[in-house]
Structures are given as structure tokens and as C-alpha cells.
């Protein structure tokens, strides 16, 4: 596509370079070292902390030496998701860009604009000799996507600035000033195995074609959860008094992505195989009807399994596993009573797998809430489900909500500048997702913060795409804001 905005070209040039470097969550060392090397080559001061959060200091442009330091912040890691037919290796392969009209997406993988575009824009700004700006701190964290690990390890004194622009929001023209807190919960249920009975045949039940998406931003859209879909299909078979047994089950990937795919390897008596297939077909038709608007490509299929299993769950444990998955909540729990249309509390049933070595079924859930007491209560209820089923549960420490400051001087300045630049008022919102601003504000009291970003659709899944034209608008806004902070 033809790009007119020169600064957009610069940002995309650096984004493409970043996209050549593996940076899945918890594997950010290469990108961190690359950024430090880039900084030193350009005579910028750079340092990493103990977990490899990276800070690059950019001197003020002439006339701004005594202006307050501004932090431009984003995270280095990306959610690494791909379509079932992709052979992409996230440990070594570059992300392949695909332009579709005004949008940039990737070839069967997540794009990583969440949050690589923040790094790219900050790098381009640091090198822009025309940009008028105060001293800048480019602050890039690790492992944001799997639990905000990097920012949780941030130590006092690492940052000097008291004004922070986070570039991790996903709608141009929207200023985010608050977000939900979150907790991950790890559940396990003991499993019991026995030999495969004589006369039983093995099948693989696949649930796929679902849209998935961000477990916070998209949770209110009512999208199908593949783990729930496959468990409902299994229950439909058992309800017809067919002795279905689970040998293996797996679904979901990241804690913050609604599961798009799940599968189960099962055994059923050979005499019941045709009936089982018919039940699965009817279930698929039911799901297609339920989710025709949100997940029109949803499918559930049965095929002969090529995998080798000589053990399966007992009949009782098969039923317990399906019951366990069924009663774990997924979706919106409470809407905000204060802000119309805002999800207050939710849960994402994120991952299920069988650990045959330790003889247990493992499940990961991810709770979010703008209200700490509701977050804790929802988490307590999910933990209780595991204990009532005879299993175990433990939860992460989590992260706090970012409480909005509607009297923020930065917000007031930003609103006026945006209206002057674009002749319309920006939207000011609180989102049902986790942003690092909440933790940064907790660790650095008095930090004045705002979160913005180019328009991004379908993060955390292979449909992720960024609207190229909005990159330039965000650039123009930040440039005007930095100039105004003299």
C-alpha cells in the first residue's frame, strides 16, 4: 500500500526490524539486548534491570533541557498464536507482514503490533531530529502478556520521569485512563487411569474455527470458548449412555486469549461409534446456531486418531473431568453499575490439559475486575470449585486496577491538544483489560499517566491487524503533546 505519512514509514521500518526478532512472552532476552545495542549505536544511555526491563534515555531537544522528563512506555513481548495450518516457528521465524487495504496483518500468526508498534514509534521518535521534546525515557517491559511480570519487578528509582505516555491502547481517538486488575488461578483435579477395554475404538474430537480474541476487551462479545464447546460435545455423548472415555484433552494457549481450538482423544465401544458421530454432528449444528453471529466458522469434527494411547480415564474420572470444565465460569460476571457498557468482573477459562505423568487435569483461568473485592470474591469461588471436586487451586498475586484520575493535568492537556489537532473531542474511557499503568502508578505515586495507541483489531489471535493510517495520527498527537510539555 502507498503510505503518505513519512513518520508512519519510519515507525513501520522499525516495526519490521523488531518483527524479525523472537519475542514471545518470557523470551524477550534477544529483543532487550538488540534494543540496548541499538541505543548504544545511537549514543543513547541504556540499561536493563534484573528481569531485563529496558530503559533508554534520550536527551532533550534544544530549548527543552529543563522540561520535565517524559516516559514513553510499552512492552517487548507478544502473544504468539498461529492458525492450525501454519508452520511458523516463533523461536526463529520473522513475522511475515501482509497489507490488506488500509490494514497491516500477518501471515497466519499474530502480528505483534501489541505491543511492538509502541517500541517502533518510540525508536523513530528518538531518532527524529525535527521532533521538539523534553528529556525522554523509553521504557520497555518484559512478560506483560502472561501476568505483567516485568512491571511487577520494577524497582523504585529506575525511572526518573513523572509523566508517562503508554502506547498500549487499541483505538485511535480514545484516551484510556483506567483499567481492570487481574488474577490467574491454577486448578488441578486428580485423574485415575485404566487399560483400554476390549472392543473400544479411538477417536479425536476437534473443536475449532472460533474467533478467539482478547480475554478482557472481547469477553463481553459472547464469543465461543473452544474448551467449553468440546466439553459440551463430550457431555452430549455421555448423556446418551455411551461409555465415552477420555484419553487426552487439550485446549487454549495464553491466559489472556479466549481459546479458539480444543481437542479430546476419546475411546467408545465400537458398537456405539456411529451413534457417537451422529451426536457430535448434531452438537456441531447446535453450536453453529448459537454462535452464528460471533463465530460463523465454528466446527466440531470426529476423526480416527493416529495417536498411541494404552491408558484412559476411568468412567468416573471422565465424568468428573467434564463436570469440572462445565462448572468453571467463563465470560462476564458483573457489569459496572457506575459506567454504562463497561464490564466490571469476568473470567476466562483459558487452558486445559492432562498431565499423565503426575496423573492430574490442569486448568488455568484468568479473572479481571475493576473492583478488588469483586476480583478476590470471583477468584475465591473458582478456587472453591476445585476443592469441592477434590482438587487443588492456587492463584497468582495478581495486579491492581488502574484507578482513573479525571483531574489529571496530562489528561486535560491531551484533550485540548487532540481537539485542536483533529477538530473533534477524544473519547475518555476505562477498559476491561490489564495495563501496566496501574502497577507503575502503585510503585511511583504521583505518576501522571495516559494510554493511547493506533487502532488495533483482534489482538492475541491470528486475525490481529493494525490500521496503518492511525499510526500517523498517534505520531502527530504525541509530537504535539511533547512540544507542549516545555
**For residue range 15-29, what is the model confidence (pLDDT) as tens digits?**
999 999 999 999 999
DSSP string for 185-219: EEEEEE--EEEPPTTEEEEEEEEE-----BTTTTG
pLDDT bin (cut points 50, 70, 90) of residue 32 is: very high
Residues designated catalytic: 77, 144
Select from 370, 395, 420 the last residue of a domain.
395
pLDDT of residue 2: 86
pLDDT bin (cut points 50, 70, 90) of residue 253 is: confident
pLDDT bin (cut points 50, 70, 90) of residue 357 is: confident
Q: Are residues 372 and 225 in the same domain?
A: yes
Q: Are residues 384 and 419 in the same domain?
A: no
Q: Are residues 460 and 380 in the same domain?
A: no
Q: Residues 467-475: what's their mean pLDDT?
A: 97
Nearest Cα to Cα of residue 224 among 303, 147, 284: 284
Q: Residues 97-122: what's their mean pLDDT?
A: 97
Q: Are residues 283 and 407 in the same domain?
A: no
Q: What percent of the chain has pLDDT over 90?
A: 91
Q: Are residues 187 and 68 in the same domain?
A: no
Q: Residues 206-229: what's their mean pLDDT?
A: 95
Q: Are residues 249 and 292 in the same domain?
A: yes
Nearest Cα to Cα of residue 456 among 146, 53, 142, 15: 15
Q: Are residues 168 and 302 in the same domain?
A: no
Q: What percent of the chain has pLDDT over 70?
A: 100
Task: Report the CATH number at residue 228.
Answer: 3.30.70.360
**For residue range 335-348, what is the model confidence (pLDDT) as tens digits?**
999 888 999 999 99
Q: Where are the alpha helices (DSSP H) in 328-423?
A: 372-388, 409-422
pLDDT of residue 471: 98
Packed helices 468-484 and 409-422: angle between N→C axes, nearest 10 degrees: 120
Query: Domain containing 236: what range?
Result: 183-395
| 1 within some domain | no
Q: Are residues 285 and 408 in the same domain?
A: no
| 284 within some domain | yes
Q: Are residues 284 and 359 in the same domain?
A: yes
pLDDT bin (cut points 50, 70, 90) of residue 176 is: very high
- Asked if residue 293 has pLDDT above 90, the reply is yes
Number of domains within the chain: 2
- Taking a C-beta distance cutoff of 8 angstroms, is the pair 281, 301 a contact? no
User: Can you name the residues that pair with 249 across neighbouring β-strands?
Assistant: 264
pLDDT of residue 88: 97
- Taking a C-beta distance cutoff of 8 angstroms, is the pair 193, 314 a contact? yes
425 DSSP assignment: P
C-alpha distance from residue 333 to each of 231, 259, 343 (Å): 21, 18, 8
- Taking a C-beta distance cutoff of 8 angstroms, is the pair 55, 147 a contact? no
pLDDT bin (cut points 50, 70, 90) of residue 397 is: confident
Mean of pLDDT over the chain? 95
**For residue range 113-154, what is the model confidence (pLDDT) as tens digits?**
999 999 999 999 999 999 999 999 999 999 998 878 999 999
Amino acid at each position: 500500500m502507498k503510505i503518505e505519512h513519512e513518520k508512519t514509514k519510519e515507525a513501520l521500518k522499525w516495526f519490521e526490524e523488531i518483527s524479525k526478532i523472537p519475542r514471545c512472552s518470557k523470551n524477550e532476552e534477544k529483543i532487550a539486548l538488540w534494543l540496548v545495542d541499538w541505543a548504544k549505536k545511537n549514543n543513547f544511555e541504556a540499561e536493563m534491570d534484573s528481569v531485563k526491563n529496558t530503559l533508554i534515555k534520550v536527551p532533550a531537544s534544544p530549548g527543552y533541557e529543563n522540561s520535565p522528563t517524559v516516559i514513553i512506555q510499552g512492552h517487548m513481548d507478544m502473544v504468539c498464536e498461529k492458525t492450525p495450518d501454519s508452520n511458523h516457528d516463533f523461536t526463529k521465524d520473522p513475522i511475515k507482514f501482509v497489507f490488506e487495504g488500509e490494514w497491516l496483518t500477518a501471515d497466519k500468526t499474530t502480528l505483534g503490533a501489541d505491543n511492538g508498534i509502541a517500541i517502533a514509534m518510540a525508536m523513530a521518535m528518538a531518532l527524529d531530529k525535527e521532533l521538539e521534546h523534553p528529556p525522554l525515557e523509553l521504557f520497555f517491559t518484559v512478560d506483560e502478556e502472561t501476568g505483567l511480570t516485568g512491571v511487577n519487578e520494577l524497582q523504585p528509582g529506575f525511572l526518573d520521569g513523572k509523566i508517562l505516555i503508554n502506547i498500549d491502547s487499541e483505538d485511535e481517538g480514545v484516551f484510556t485512563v483506567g483499567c481492570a486488575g487481574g488474577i490467574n488461578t491454577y486448578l488441578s483435579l486428580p485423574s485415575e487411569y485404566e487399560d483400554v477395554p476390549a472392543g473400544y475404538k479411538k477417536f479425536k474430537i476437534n473443536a475449532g474455527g472460533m474467533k478467539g480474541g482478547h480475554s478482557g476487551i472481547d469477553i463481553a462479545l459472547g464469543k465461543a470458548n473452544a474448551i467449553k464447546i468440546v466439553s459440551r460435545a463430550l457431555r452430549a455423548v455421555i448423556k446418551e449412555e455411551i461409555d465415552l472415555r477420555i484419553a487426552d484433552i487439550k485446549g487454549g494457549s495464553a491466559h489472556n486469549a479466549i481459546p479458539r481450538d480444543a481437542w479430546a482423544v476419546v475411546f467408545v465401544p465400537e458398537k456405539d461409534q456411529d451413534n457417537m458421530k451422529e451426536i457430535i454432528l448434531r452438537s456441531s449444528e447446535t453450536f453453529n446456531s448459537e454462535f452464528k453471529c460471533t463465530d460463523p466458522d465454528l466446527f466440531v469434527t470426529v476423526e480416527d486418531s493416529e495417536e498411541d494411547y494404552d491408558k484412559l480415564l476411568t468412567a468416573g474420572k471422565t465424568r468428573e473431568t467434564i463436570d469440572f470444565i462445565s462448572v468453571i465460569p467463563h465470560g462476564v460476571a458483573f457489569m459496572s453499575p457506575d459506567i454504562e457498557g463497561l464490564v466490571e468482573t469476568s473470567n476466562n477459562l483459558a487452558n486445559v490439559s492432562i498431565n499423565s505423568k503426575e496423573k492430574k487435569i490442569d486448568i488455568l483461568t484468568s479473572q479481571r475486575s475493576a473492583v478488588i473485592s469483586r476480583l478476590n470474591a470471583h477468584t475465591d469461588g473458582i478456587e472453591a470449585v476445585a476443592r469441592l471436586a477434590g482438587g487443588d487451586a492456587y492463584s497468582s498475586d495478581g495486579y491492581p486496577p488502574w484507578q482513573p484520575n479525571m483531574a489529571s493535568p496530562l489528561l486535560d492537556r491531551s484533550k485540548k491538544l487532540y481537539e485542536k489537532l483533529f477538530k473533534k473531542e477524544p473519547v475518555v474511557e476505562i477498559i476491561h483489560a490489564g495495563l501496566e499503568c496501574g502497577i507503575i502508578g502503585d510503585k511511583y505515586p504521583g505518576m501522571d499517566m495516559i494510554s493511547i495507541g493506533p487502532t488495533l483489531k483482534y489482538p492475541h489471535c491470528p486475525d490481529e491487524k493494525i490500521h496503518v493510517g492511525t499510526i500517523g495520527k498517534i505520531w502527530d498527537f504525541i509530537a504535539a503533546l511533547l512540544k507542549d510539555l516545555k
